[in-house]
Structure 1
Amino acid sequence: MDVKASGVKTWRILGIGLAGLLLAACAGAPPRTGGNPMFLDDRFAPPSEPIGASDLFALSPAMEDYLATEIASRQRSSARQHALVDALYSSAQLKLEYDSTVTRNAAEAFDARSGNCLSLVLMTAAFAKELGLQVQYQVVFSEQAASRSDGIVYLSNHINLTLRPTAPEGRLVNLANEPLTVDFIPAEGQGRQRARVVREATIVAMYLNNKAAESLRARRLDDAYWWARAAIEQDPGFLTAQNTLSVIYRRRGHLAEAEQLLRNAVELEPGNAVPMSNLSRLLKASGRTDEAARLDERLRRIEAVPPFHYFDIGLQAMAEKKYELARQNFEKEVERAATHHEFHAWLAAALFELGEVDAARRHLQIALENSTTPADQALYESRLEALRPRQRTLR
């Protein structure tokens, strides 16, 4: 574990694919929200454990005591974020260990003194919230770790978090209180990596989806269903959970429903290789080899292109005022990541320059709805306002 401070792991599944995160705790099955056609509650038994995440960031009495003693004592000589990281990860007393096998909530990770990257991020965030720090989560674009179990390939994404101090209105923030990124992989292995900020709702969904993946690995399909269901309800835009649910459906024999989930994911993100790969496998298993072959050809093209490849081409095209070229490349990135706000914002800028104001407005609205920071939200709101008087620029 390295504290530069930056990273976390979340489960995904390929080969029949998936990924995971959270929901409100309850003793039995989660309450039915009624009418969502992707859910098959009557075909799965009630869960054997509480399903939810209402206590995900809750501090246990032991954590409150550690906060009042170890962390508070370090605050006398260090900024809050540095005091927190030092107390958690530099203390000989705590001795945290990395454990990739189980996803724990904040209190469980502290009690066990171990956790996977997501668990350690959750624990760090819980303390940070109590200290009044701002917490920002990032998914880092890096090579995915993979493992195989019972015919399923599990892919692991990397996540980190950044801690920022807050100051009362009108107060200056000391320059020593700069943002601090906390990561749990060796810094020398990171290099200069691209990352995208994600909402806390998505982090919670990742937790729930991880629990679904762990239940699936343990062959507890009923529990896996309820965890994946909770992840989807927590963040409907987190398509990884739909992919996970499709794997559960396939394992239970609900093939038509699994196929519909995968087709929905591929339609929303036609450049996302994971659901496309799973759909291809499902089609092959049902004898539809011609359609599967067409998907495989698309997969070969997608997987040959690294993250942000088309985005960087688009940015260069914008700088050279080649707006149609920019548009084409930004559209390709939107196909691969339909909820990444920056792709939509730049696509809107290219469309504006091409005179397609209505389309620009639509993509700016999508960027606003998926933005994760107040600064981005304010920026996109101002750009949407700028579209009313046509002559104002978006860039």
Structure 2
Amino acid sequence: MSERILAGRALPALLLLASLVLAACASAPAARPQAALSERLPVFWADERFAEDTGAQMKGELALALSEDMEQFAQRSLVPMASRIGGPQALFSALFERGRVVVEYSSDYTRNASEAWSARRGNCLSLALMTAAYARRLGVEPHFHLVRTPNVWSRGERLNFLVRHVNVTLVGDGSDGSVLAAPGSQGLTVDFVPPNRRIREVVKEISEATVLAMYLNNLASEAMDGGRYDQSYQLVKQALLRDPALPEAYNTLGLVLQRRGATDKAEAALRQSLALAPEGVAALSNLLALLEQRGGAAAQAELPQLRERLAAVQPRAPFADFDAGEVALAQGDAEGALAAFLRQREVTGDDARIEQMLATSYARLGRFSEARDALRLALEYSDNEGQRHELSAKKKLLLQARAQQP
């Protein structure tokens, strides 16, 4: 995952937009607003409603740490190569040796640098952290970038995620023979992009503090998706302590506070998210849902304005047709489900879960050849190892069912 932003989903699930990217590197004019936001953070805390998690602070400190295995690889391969061709090129060659990516993109969950290297897989944020950790070991300065892509949505167990993209550019200092330190040089960009997200445009450099805040916010979002609310709260607190101007973290905080009944503070956190990013679709969706549930004259009076603002940035819920398809399947209407999932595919594009549901719809209609093709596409689009196992098992069952047909 790259940047994950939790967003609206049909009830009873709550909404969340947990994002991994935000502001540019802090500059002198931004120092006072950052300080003011930092001083205000205690207003949003509700420690009495959550158990402590002593490991939350360590998560951020370990994000860029090299493991013993990474250090051995650096000494054995990277350092000697860097002495010949420069640190940036050495690291790039090691990660993409002979055109083959040594590590794979995977959207299953967010890993730190050492976890990504150990698994040889991770989302774009995890792989950017891993690359940056190795770069620092070689004396190369990593520069993180927020990358603009068309909105890409994914579904968790309880939440929807708006996925954004982060990459890292390596800039040598010239001491290792690197030519990337020349004035005006943009360095060597290392980018791990899923095959279905090739169109991209770098729009902003972001600071390491922001990247670490995004990492912690991702972990908080994933913990919330798994129902681990105490852990989610402590992680998002750490995210905001690192970057008190990260809108997505206030959105995550608002949702976890709402889950524990701290409605007033949840509303305040969501409004802070919108103050920092007025068109934030997740915070708009979540604030709208909170006020609808809360009731009261003041809340009801604000709802039309919020609905109008949300409609301007998101005219239709990202998985409206997917939800309709699931309802149709549950009601035994495979034709209606198929039509809904096909509409969702037009909106979302290449998506393993949509193809899986299309396969289910086709199979219930006895259209086994089309079901097989949909499962093939689901396997092709999937970047989640657990999901691939599930899809492979379903493909075997489908072939067995087809063989039993008269």
TM-score calculated relative to the size of structure 1: 0.65
Q: Which moved more, 1:68-77 or 1:135-144?
A: 68-77
Pairs within 5 Å for 1:165-180? 165-167=172-174, 179-180=187-188
Give SS of 1:87's match: helix
* Aligned partner of 2:306 among 282, 295, 299: 295
Residue 219 of structure 1: aligned partner: 227
Distance (whole Å) between structure 1 residues aligned to residue 206 and residue 41 of structure 2: 28
Residue 135 of structure 1: aligned partner: 142
Per-residue deviation, 1:173: 6.1
Pairs within 5 Å for 1:109-124? 109-124=116-131
Question: Is the Cα–Cα contact under 8 Å of residues 174 and 181 in structure 2 kept in the other structure?
Answer: no
Question: Is the Cα–Cα contact under 8 Å of residues 246 and 262 in structure 1 kept in the other structure?
Answer: yes
Distance (whole Å) between structure 1 residues aligned to residue 195 and residue 157 of structure 2: 33
Report runs of 4+ in structure 1 exceeding 4 Å deviation: 91-94, 171-175, 186-189
For 1:161-213, what per-residue CA distance to the aligned partner results, in whole angstroms no more than 9, with x for missing partners? 11111136xx98687x8611111116894346241111110000011001101
Residue 290 of structure 2: aligned partner: 282
Residue 43 of structure 1: aligned partner: 49
Question: Is the Cα–Cα contact under 8 Å of residues 63 and 110 in structure 1 kept in the other structure?
Answer: yes
Per-residue deviation, 1:144: 3.0
Structure 1 residues 300, 188: closer, same or farther in 2, change over 3 A? closer
Distance (whole Å) between structure 2 residues aligned to residue 191 and residue 162 of structure 1: 18
Question: Is the Cα–Cα contact under 8 Å of residues 56 and 234 in structure 2 kept in the other structure?
Answer: no
Structure 1 residues 10, 276: closer, same or farther in 2, change over 3 A? same
Q: Which runs of 5+ in 1 are unaligned?
A: 1-7, 22-32, 305-395
Give SS of 1:58's match: coil
| Amino acid corresponding to residue 138 of structure 1 in structure 2 | H
Question: Is the Cα–Cα contact under 8 Å of residues 212 and 223 in structure 1 kept in the other structure?
Answer: yes
Distance (whole Å) between structure 2 residues aligned to residue 123 and residue 264 of structure 1: 31
Distance (whole Å) between structure 1 residues aligned to residue 44 and residue 189 of structure 2: 38
For the pair 1:18 / 2:25, whether they are aligned, the reply is: no
| Amino acid corresponding to residue 6 of structure 2 in structure 1 | I
Distance (whole Å) between structure 1 residues aligned to residue 44 and residue 313 of structure 2: 27
Question: Is the Cα–Cα contact under 8 Å of residues 223 and 229 in structure 2 kept in the other structure?
Answer: yes
Question: Is the Cα–Cα contact under 8 Å of residues 94 and 113 in structure 1 kept in the other structure?
Answer: no
Give SS of 2:62's match: coil
Give SS of 1:36's match: helix
* Aligned partner of 1:56 among 52, 63, 72: 63
For the pair 1:181 / 2:180, whether they are aligned, the reply is: no
Per-residue deviation, 1:61: 1.7
Give SS of 2:125's match: helix
Structure 1 residues 273, 186: closer, same or farther in 2, change over 3 A? closer
Question: Is the Cα–Cα contact under 8 Å of residues 149 and 199 in structure 2 kept in the other structure?
Answer: no
Per-residue deviation, 1:20: 5.5
For 1:216-273, what per-residue CA distance to the aligned partner results, in whole angstroms no more than 9, with x for missing partners? 1111100011001110111001111110011101122221211111122223332333
Distance (whole Å) between structure 1 residues aligned to residue 309 and residue 152 of structure 2: 23
Distance (whole Å) between structure 2 residues aligned to residue 124 and residue 156 of structure 1: 20
Structure 1 residues 249, 165: closer, same or farther in 2, change over 3 A? same
Residue 321 of structure 2: aligned partner: none
Structure 1 residues 190, 123: closer, same or farther in 2, change over 3 A? same
Identity %: 35
Residue 369 of structure 2: aligned partner: none
Question: Is the Cα–Cα contact under 8 Å of residues 16 and 161 in structure 2 kept in the other structure?
Answer: yes
Give SS of 1:13's match: strand
Say how many residue pairs are matched. 285
For 1:61-85, what per-residue CA distance to the aligned partner results, in whole angstroms no more than 9, with x for missing partners? 2111111112134335423211101
Distance (whole Å) between structure 1 residues aligned to residue 214 and residue 165 of structure 2: 12
Question: Is the Cα–Cα contact under 8 Å of residues 20 and 205 in structure 1 kept in the other structure?
Answer: no
Structure 1 residues 192, 113: closer, same or farther in 2, change over 3 A? closer
Distance (whole Å) between structure 2 residues aligned to residue 264 and residue 270 of structure 1: 9
| Amino acid corresponding to residue 50 of structure 2 in structure 1 | F
For 1:40-90, what per-residue CA distance to the aligned partner results, in whole angstroms no more than 9, with x for missing partners? 111101227444311221112211111111213433542321110111232
Distance (whole Å) between structure 1 residues aligned to residue 192 and residue 276 of structure 2: 32
Give SS of 1:54's match: helix
| Amino acid corresponding to residue 258 of structure 1 in structure 2 | A
Residue 9 of structure 1: aligned partner: 2
Question: Is the Cα–Cα contact under 8 Å of residues 180 and 188 in structure 2 kept in the other structure?
Answer: no
Q: Which runs of 5+ in 2 are unaligned?
A: 9-14, 21-38, 316-406
Distance (whole Å) between structure 1 residues aligned to residue 50 and residue 229 of structure 2: 8
For the aligned residue pairs, the C-alpha RMSD in angstroms reads 3.0
For the pair 1:203 / 2:211, whether they are aligned, the reply is: yes
Distance (whole Å) between structure 2 residues aligned to residue 238 and residue 279 of structure 1: 17
Distance (whole Å) between structure 1 residues aligned to residue 106 and residue 194 of structure 2: 15
Question: Is the Cα–Cα contact under 8 Å of residues 141 and 172 in structure 2 kept in the other structure?
Answer: yes
Structure with the larger helix share: 2
* Aligned partner of 1:251 among 259, 262, 265: 259
Distance (whole Å) between structure 2 residues aligned to residue 131 and residue 202 of structure 1: 22
Distance (whole Å) between structure 1 residues aligned to residue 101 and residue 198 of structure 2: 26
